[in-house]
């Protein structure tokens, strides 16, 4: 009841703002590229999509991709609001099934990081919000187009394009907490774009800098210093071709200190550093009825401290799309090679290599003016696991000008990643006091996903959707303890007092749920969006039969409002209700229901300079849960952020 009361109070604040009648309150037409690889209207896309616009991003001080997308229906930060460990779940799937793309190219994966808790290091490669044009989020499997790690969904971050114009953006903010044991953080970002040769050559430069001080509680946020910068060179030899070269570097440092966030081990300080470099070369050719797109991406990530490892990834992708009046056919090739150099392990093979090659095809066929059928297939060959074929089919039927039905079936296939498949590869965690072992006998996991729903749009500013989804897994990959904390856990002569975990296939599992969403452009000044999602996961056999696969909430309700009072003042609000988790394998206790309410105001001092004030976690939710002997911080209290943005 308390949670519902909090939601009602916040909603009433916006409902009672003055509304001004307007005859043109329609939702804007949205174009997307992520569902097929080419531009199309979002209503014709063979997937369930959400789009976050540049205007929406500019109204908040976003520091990472998780904060940018966490309010999208069915998206959940796997360690919400706290502990600077990041991960994004879509529809209850593990973050390893969330494919993160920048302009259609994958960012370096988390294979280079500790497998149990510290996820999200690859998110440091995401450009600052000022460099982003929009974000497209696909909720549901896209394995046939993007590979096995897109089983949960895709987040495609679309950044700047070729331009002759000069533009610049400088932003800065400071966030402080109500709780004296939670420290503050500074954030700065910079983005520049300029033409060099009219209609031929342009360049952009971007960078961001985050300094988060260490908290004073053992289970809270460690110190974090995050640096990211990059540059892009755009070359347009003629009007039909674009070539882009991008160089980016990321450097993230973490530190825990005794008496603050470090509670175990003999050292007074525990440090970790993750450095990475990315080089992307892409080409797009636009012919009469053909679109050709290719990229070559090289990533190198080095983790210093516990693991002292280096992961190198080379990824090549090329595809062509052919268009007729009622058909769009795409055929593509993807090749990926990885090398992991692990110097801190006790494994016999410290240098590990792997590669896989995929052929994929998609066909969007307008059978009638009201019915679109999309089919796809992906053939994958892995050097360790052989070949596999994964088909997909999706249909869209427009009943009339207001109602449409959408749904389909997709199969998934995921081989163990490079650290899971390597026998006796021991990746340490908890400051080197625990280890995660790889196994060469693992099987690939397979899945079948179903989705069906309906969309209503009154063409006057209101849209609602209802979607059901179900996925069944076979040979699902996970981890299982083979030696628990408190025992003498030994591997290859080394003792791990916090225990040893092993990569395993847990057998059969399922994830299912329902999404209910709506967007309402009440007036030109006021826009509301709401969503309710029920998500359930179960292990269907083995020792933990009936247990949830994760600690994600069964029920979530999200309410957002944006109100443009005038050209100088903008108000926004976001209220998210998270229901309890149930029978989680991750934590000892269920996580209780809670509400996170955020409010903000933006003041445009001039057309180029704005100030903003945000209050996060308005009701000061602060609590933990238990995992073994550890407290896990779920919500870390109220915070206030002040910032400015200068653009010219």
The per-residue pLDDT for 435 is 81
The per-residue pLDDT for 121 is 55
Question: pLDDT (tens digit, 9 = 90+) per residue, 96-121?
Answer: 888 899 999 988 765 434 433 344 45
The count of other CB atoms within 10 Å of the CB of residue 108 is 25
pTM: 0.91
Let me know the angle formed at the C-alpha of 62 by 253 and 280, rounded to the nearest 5 degrees: 65
Do 204 and 242 meet the contact criterion of CB atoms below 8 Å apart? no
Please state the domain count of the chain.
1
Tell me the CATH number at 344.
2.40.170.20
With a CB cutoff of 8 Å and minimum separation 6, the contacts of 234 are 161, 162, 163, 201, 202, 203, 204, 242, 243, 244
What is the residue whose two structure tokens read 């342009």? 202
Question: pLDDT (tens digit, 9 = 90+) per residue, 261-271?
Answer: 776 655 666 77
The per-residue pLDDT for 551 is 80
The per-residue pLDDT for 559 is 97
- Distance separating alpha carbons of residues 272 and 229, to the nearest angstrom: 20
The per-residue pLDDT for 306 is 60
Domain of residue 304 covers 2-647
Burial of 2 per CB tally in 10 Å (0-12, 13-18, 19+): exposed
Ranges of the chain with pLDDT below 50: 1, 5-23, 80-84, 111-120, 346-348
């Amino acid at each position: 009841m308390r949670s519902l009361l909090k939601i009602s109070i916040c909603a009433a604040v916006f409902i009672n703002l003055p509304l001004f009648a307007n005859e043109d309150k329609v939702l804007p037409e949205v174009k997307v590229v992520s569902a097929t690889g080419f531009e199309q209207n979002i209503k014709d896309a063979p997937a369930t999509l959400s789009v976050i616009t540049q205007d929406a991003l500019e109204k908040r001080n976003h520091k990472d991709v998780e904060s940018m997308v966490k309010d999208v229906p069915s998206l959940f930060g796997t360690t919400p609001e706290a502990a600077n460990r990041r991960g994004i779940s879509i529809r209850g799937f593990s973050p390893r099934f969330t494919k993160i793309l920048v302009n259609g190219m994958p960012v370096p994966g988390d294979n280079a990081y500790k497998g149990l808790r510290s996820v999200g290091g690859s998110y440091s490669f995401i450009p600052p919000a000022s460099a982003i044009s929009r974000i497209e989020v696909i909720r549901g499997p896209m394995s046939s187009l993007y590979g096995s790690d897109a089983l949960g969904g895709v987040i495609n971050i679309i950044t700047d394009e070729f331009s002759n114009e000069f533009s610049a953006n400088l932003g800065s903010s400071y966030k402080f907490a109500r709780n004296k044991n939670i420290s503050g953080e500074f954030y700065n970002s910079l983005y520049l774009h300029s033409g060099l040769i009219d209609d031929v050559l342009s360049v952009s430069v971007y960078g961001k800098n985050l300094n988060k001080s260490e908290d004073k509680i053992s289970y809270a946020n460690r110190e974090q210093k995050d640096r990211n910068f990059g540059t892009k060179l755009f070359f347009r030899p003629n009007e039909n071709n674009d070539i882009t070269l991008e160089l980016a570097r990321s450097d993230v440092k973490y530190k825990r200190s005794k008496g603050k966030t470090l509670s175990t081990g003999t050292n007074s300080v525990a440090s970790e550093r993750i450095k990475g470099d990315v080089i992307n070369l892409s080409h797009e050719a636009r012919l009469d009825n053909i679109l050709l797109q290719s990229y070559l991406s090289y990533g190198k990530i080095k983790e210093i401290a516990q693991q002292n490892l280096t992961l190198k990834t080379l990824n090549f992708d090329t595809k062509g799309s052919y268009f007729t009046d009622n058909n769009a056919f795409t055929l593509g090739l993807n090749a990926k090679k990885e090398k992991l150099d692990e110097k801190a392990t006790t494994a016999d093979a410290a240098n590990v290599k792997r590669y896989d090659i995929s052929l994929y095809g998609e066909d969007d066929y307008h059978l009638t003016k009201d019915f679109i059928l999309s089919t796809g297939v992906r053939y994958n060959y892995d050097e360790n696991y052989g070949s596999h074929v994964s088909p997909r089919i999706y249909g869209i039927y427009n009943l009339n000008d207001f109602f449409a039905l959408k749904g389909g079936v997709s199969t998934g296939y995921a081989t163990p990643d490079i650290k899971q498949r390597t026998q006796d590869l021991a990746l340490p965690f908890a400051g080197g006091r625990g280890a995660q072992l790889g196994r060469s006998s693992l099987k690939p996991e397979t899945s079948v996903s179903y989705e069906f729903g309906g969309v209503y749009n009154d063409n006057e500013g209101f849209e609602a959707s209802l979607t059901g989804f179900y996925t069944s897994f076979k040979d699902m990959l996970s981890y299982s303890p083979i030696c628990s904390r408190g025992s003498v856990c030994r591997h290859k002569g080394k003792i791990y007092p916090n225990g040893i975990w092993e990569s395993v296939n847990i057998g059969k599992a399922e994830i299912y749920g329902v999404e209910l969403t709506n967007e309402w452009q009440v007036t030109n000044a006021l826009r509301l969006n709401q969503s309710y999602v029920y998500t359930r996961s179960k292990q269907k056999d083995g020792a933990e039969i009936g247990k949830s696969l994760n600690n994600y909430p069964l029920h979530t309700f999200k309410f957002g409002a944006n109100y443009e009072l005038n050209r100088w003042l903008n108000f926004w609000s976001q209220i998210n209700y998270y229901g309890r988790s149930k029978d989680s394998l991750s934590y000892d206790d269920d996580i209780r229901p809670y509400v996170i309410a955020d409010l903000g105001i933006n003041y445009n001092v001039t057309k180029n300079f704005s100030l903003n004030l945000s209050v996060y976690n308005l009701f000061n939710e602060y609590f933990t849960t238990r995992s073994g002997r550890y407290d896990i911080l779920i919500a870390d209290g109220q915070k206030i952020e002040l910032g400015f943005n200068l653009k010219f």
